[in-house]
C-alpha cells in the first residue's frame, strides 16, 4: 500500500523545514530584552535546534531521493529566511540592535529576494535561466557566518567583525547563485539546439 507522494508537501524533510517557523517565535520569547546567561543559553539552544533541522532535512531528502527538484528545493530556503527574519526582528525589538547592522548581515537575502521575484514573474527570464534554489557550499557558509554573528549579539559580545564577514561571504554566494543560473540556462539552450530536428 503506497503512502503519500514522494514529492508532496508532507514528507519528513519538508516537515522538518516547516518546524523552523514556530522556532522563530520560540527564539523571540527565549531571547528577552536583557542579556542574561539563561536567556542566552535558551536562545542559542533554539538556534542550534533550528540548525539541526536544517542539516537533517537535507540529509533525509538526499538519503531517500525525495524532492530533489520539487517542493523541498524552495520550501527549505523560504523556511530558513523566515526563521532568520524572526530572529532579526527579535534582536531589533528586544535588544535594540540597529536595523542598518542587521541589513548588512543579510545583504545577500535582501539582494536575492527581488532577483527571485523577477525570475518567478517574468516568463522570458524563466525560459532562459534555470535558477537553482538549493543552497550551495558558499550559501551555507554565509548562513553559518550569519548564525555566528547572531550568536555574538545574543550573548552580548562584539559582533561587528562577524557581521561584515557574513556580508562578504553572502555577496560571494549570491554571485555564485547567479553564475549557476546562467550556466544552467546556457546548458539548457545548448541541449535544445542539439536535439532540435533538422
Domain count, the chain: 2
Query: Is 103 exposed, middle or buried (CB count within 10 Å of its CB: 0-12, 13-18, 19+)?
Result: middle
What letters, b where the CB count within 10 A reaches 16 and e where it falls short, cover 174-195? beebeebbeeebeeeeeeeeee
Range of the structural domain that residue 123 is part of:
98-198
**Are both 134 and 192 inside the same structural domain?**
yes
Whether 103 and 92 map to the same domain: the answer is no
* Residues 188, 147 share a domain: yes
Same domain, 29 and 106: no
Asked if residue 121 and residue 110 are part of one domain, the reply reads yes
Residue 106's nearest CA partner among 171, 47, 27 is 171
At 106-149, the pLDDT tens digits run 888 888 777 767 766 776 666 666 555 566 788 888 888 988 99
Are 133 and 73 a contacting pair, CB within 8 Å? yes
Q: Are residues 5 and 87 in the same domain?
A: yes
Give the domain-ending residue among 61, 76, 96. Answer: 96
In this prediction, residue 121 carries a pLDDT of: 73
Considering the domain architecture, whether residues 70 and 135 belong to the same structural domain is answered as no
Q: How far apart are CA 141 and CA 1, in angstroms?
A: 41
**CB 94, CB 31: distance < 8 Å:** yes
Q: DSSP E strands: which ranges in 38-196?
A: none
Same domain, 78 and 135: no
Are residue 103 and residue 198 in the same domain, yes or no?
yes
pTM, full prediction: 0.74
| 126 and 168 in a common domain | yes
For residue range 19-33, list pLDDT tens digits in order.
999 999 999 999 988
Q: Is the domain of 43 the same as that of 122?
A: no
> 3-state DSSP: the chain helix, strand, coil percent, rounded to 5?
80, 0, 20
Helix (H, G, I), strand (E, B) or coil at 196: coil
Could you say which of 66, 96, 126 is where a domain stops?
96
* Cell numbers standing for residue 36: 542574561
10-63 residue pLDDT tens: 788 888 999 999 999 999 999 988 888 899 999 999 999 998 998 898 788 777
Domain boundary at 96, 121, 140, which? 96
46 shares its domain with 111: no
Amino acid at each position: 500500500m503506497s503512502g503519500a507522494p514522494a514529492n508532496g508537501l508532507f514528507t519528513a524533510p519538508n516537515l522538518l523545514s516547516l518546524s523552523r517557523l514556530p522556532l522563530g517565535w520560540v527564539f523571540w520569547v527565549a531571547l528577552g530584552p536583557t542579556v542574561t546567561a539563561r536567556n542566552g543559553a535558551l536562545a542559542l539552544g533554539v538556534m542550534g535546534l533550528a540548525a539541526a533541522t536544517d542539516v537533517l532535512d537535507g540529509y533525509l531528502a538526499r538519503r531517500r531521493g525525495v524532492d530533489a527538484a520539487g517542493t523541498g528545493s524552495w520550501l527549505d530556503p523560504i523556511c530558513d529566511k523566515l526563521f532568520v527574519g524572526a530572529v532579526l526582528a527579535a534582536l531589533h525589538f528586544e535588544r535594540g540592535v540597529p536595523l542598518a547592522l542587521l541589513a548588512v548581515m543579510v545583504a545577500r537575502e535582501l539582494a536575492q529576494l527581488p532577483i527571485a521575484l523577477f525570475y518567478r514573474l517574468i516568463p522570458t527570464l524563466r525560459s532562459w535561466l534555470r535558477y537553482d534554489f538549493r543552497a550551495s557550499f558558499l550559501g551555507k557558509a554565509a548562513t553559518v557566518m550569519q548564525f555566528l554573528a547572531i550568536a555574538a549579539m545574543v550573548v552580548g559580545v562584539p559582533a561587528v567583525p562577524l557581521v561584515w564577514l557574513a556580508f562578504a561571504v553572502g555577496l560571494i554566494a549570491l554571485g555564485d547563485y547567479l553564475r549557476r543560473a546562467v550556466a544552467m540556462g546556457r546548458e539548457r539552450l545548448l541541449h535544445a539546439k542539439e536535439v532540435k530536428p533538422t
